[in-house]
Structure 1
Amino acid sequence: MAIAYRQRIDDDTEFALWKIEESAGDLYAQLQLNDDEKAVVENLGTNKRHLHWLSTRVLLRAMLSTDEYIDCKVDAHGKPYLVNHPYYISFSHSFDYAAVMISRRHQVGIDIELVKEKVERIAHKFMRKQELDFISQKCKIEELYVCWCVKEAVYKCYGQKEVSFLDNILLEPFSFEGHGIINAKLRKDDIAIDYAVGYQQYQDYMIGYVIQDRYEA
C-alpha cells in the first residue's frame, strides 16, 4: 500500500497515513536497519506492534523521499528524533493505520485512534468534569476521541514524561464538525503553554495533530 492520506499543514510541516496491508516481510524489505534496529524488530515478535513499528518507518521513508539510511532514535522520554535528517517527527498507529508527522522547523505531535464505544468507560480517567460537561450526547463517542487525540498530540509534542492527561492538559469547549481546531492548555508546575490543536475524522479513525509554534508560553 502507498500513502493513503497526506495533509500539508504549512510549508515545512505535514502528516500522512499508511494503511497497513503488507506482511511484515514486505515492510521489512523496504527498510534499511542497523543491528540495534533489527534487534528491536526481532524482540517485537509477530504481533500487531511488529507491523506498527515497521509501517511507521516505511511511511517516514516515503515522506522523506530518501534512499539514505534514516537514523531514527528515541530520547530518554521516549520521543523519536532523527540523527541525520533535519526534521522533527512524531509517530502514531492504531489497528490498520500508521501515522507520521514531520516538520523542518517545529516540534510536532500526532495521534490516530480507531473510534470505538469503549472510550466512554474510561473518559473520567483523562477528562475533567468541566470537559465532560461540554461533550454532546449526539456525537459523544467521536468527541471523546477528539479529546483523547488532542491531549495525546500535545503530550507527544511537549515530549516530557510525567504529564497527566487529566490534570495537566486542559481543553476548551468546541463544536464537533468532523475537523477543526481546539484550544488546549498544558499546565504543570511553572509550565504554562497554550496550543491550537487540529483534529480530523478519517473514515472510522480520529486524528489529532499539533505543531509547537502554535502556542504562547
Structure 2
Amino acid sequence: MPLVHSEKIEETSTLLLWKLTETEDELHTILGSSYNSEDLDTISHPQKQREWLASRLLIKILVEQFGLLYEGTHKDEHGKAFLVNNASHISITHTFDYVAAVINPSAPVGIDMEKTDPKLQRTSRKYLSEPEFTHAENELATLCMYWCAKEAIYKLYGKKKISFRNSIYIQPFTKSQRLIQGILTDDEEDLQINSPIHIRWFEDYCLAVSV
C-alpha cells in the first residue's frame, strides 16, 4: 500500500492515507493473524473484506509507529472500532481506492473519506438541514464536504441514533477551506460537541478528520 499522505493533525492526532493496491490474499499474508477474524467473518462482499483488511493493516502500522504492540481491534456496542489492550483512540475509513486511519493517544477522533458521487445530490435532503441545503446549492463538492464532515464528527462521538440532518450542524464554509466547524447535539444525553473538522482533497475524494 503506497503511502499517499501523512500528517499531524493539531499536534495530537496522526493521519495516514494509503492507496489500496494489494489483493485480499496479499493483505491476509501481510497481516498474518493480527486481526479479529470474527469481525471479518461478518463481511461477505470480497471488496469490503479487502478494504477491512487494508484498514487493519494501516492501524497496525500507526500503532507500531508509536512503539506499541498491535494486538488487533474489536468493536464496541455501537460498532466503533477500538484497539485491544491499548487506550489510544482510532478511527478508520476505506473506499475502493484508498484506506485512511487516524490515531490519538488521549481523545476521540473521527475520520471519513468519500468520492464525489451524484448520489450525494439525490440524497442531500436526508442529511442536510434546510440552511445547509440552501448553502450547498446542490454543488457536488460542497455536498461531499458536508457528508464527510458529518460522518467524521458522528464517528468521533461513536454512538448510534444520531440524525445527520437534525443533530449535526456544519457551519457555512467555502470549498477552499481546510478547516471547518461542526456541532453535534445529543438531546437524550444533554450533550453538545463542538469540533474542528480538517478537510483534505485527494483527486476527487474528500477526507475529513474531526478532533
Fold in common (TM above 0.5): yes
Write the distance in 2 (CA, Å) between the matches of 1:80 and 1:39: 13
Write the distance in 2 (CA, Å) between the matches of 1:69 and 1:155: 25
Task: Label 1:50 to 1:131 Cα distance change in 2 as closer, same or farther (>3 A).
Answer: same
TM-aligned CA deviation for residue 96 of structure 1? 1.1
Tell me if the contact between 2:2 and 2:20 (Cα under 8 Å) persists in the aligned partners: no
Write the distance in 2 (CA, Å) between the matches of 1:94 and 1:20: 9
Q: What is the match of residue 183 of structure 1?
A: 181
Tell me if the contact between 2:36 and 2:72 (Cα under 8 Å) persists in the aligned partners: no
Write the distance in 2 (CA, Å) between the matches of 1:198 and 1:90: 14
Tell me if the contact between 2:149 and 2:197 (Cα under 8 Å) persists in the aligned partners: yes
Write the distance in 1 (CA, Å) between the matches of 2:13 and 2:97: 24
Quick one: which amino acid aligns to residue 169 of structure 2?
L
Alignment partner of 1:29: what SS?
helix
Q: What is the match of residue 6 of structure 2?
A: 6
Tell me the C-alpha RMSD between the 2 structures.
1.9
TM-aligned CA deviation for residue 167 of structure 1? 0.7
Write the distance in 2 (CA, Å) between the matches of 1:73 and 1:32: 17
Written as runs of structure 1 = structure 2, the 5 A alignment for 1:87-106 is 87-106=88-107
Q: What is the match of residue 215 of structure 1?
A: none
Q: Report the identity percentage.
A: 29
Written as runs of structure 1 = structure 2, the 5 A alignment for 1:154-173 is 154-173=153-172
Residues 149-169 of structure 1 deviation map (CA, whole Å, 9 limit, x = unaligned): 000001000011100101100
TM-score (norm 1): 0.88
Written as runs of structure 1 = structure 2, the 5 A alignment for 1:130-141 is 130-136=131-137, 140-141=139-140
Write the distance in 1 (CA, Å) between the matches of 2:32 and 2:101: 18
TM-score (norm 2): 0.90
Task: Label 1:53 to 1:175 Cα distance change in 2 as closer, same or farther (>3 A).
Answer: same
Written as runs of structure 1 = structure 2, the 5 A alignment for 1:2-151 is 2-33=2-33, 37-45=36-44, 47-65=46-64, 68-136=69-137, 140-151=139-150
Tell me if the contact between 1:32 and 1:70 (Cα under 8 Å) persists in the aligned partners: no
TM-aligned CA deviation for residue 41 of structure 1? 3.1
Quick one: which amino acid aligns to residue 143 of structure 2?
L
Write the distance in 2 (CA, Å) between the matches of 1:6 and 1:69: 20
**Which ranges in structure 2 are unaligned for 5 or more consecutive residues?**
none
Task: Label 1:191 to 1:141 Cα distance change in 2 as closer, same or farther (>3 A).
Answer: same
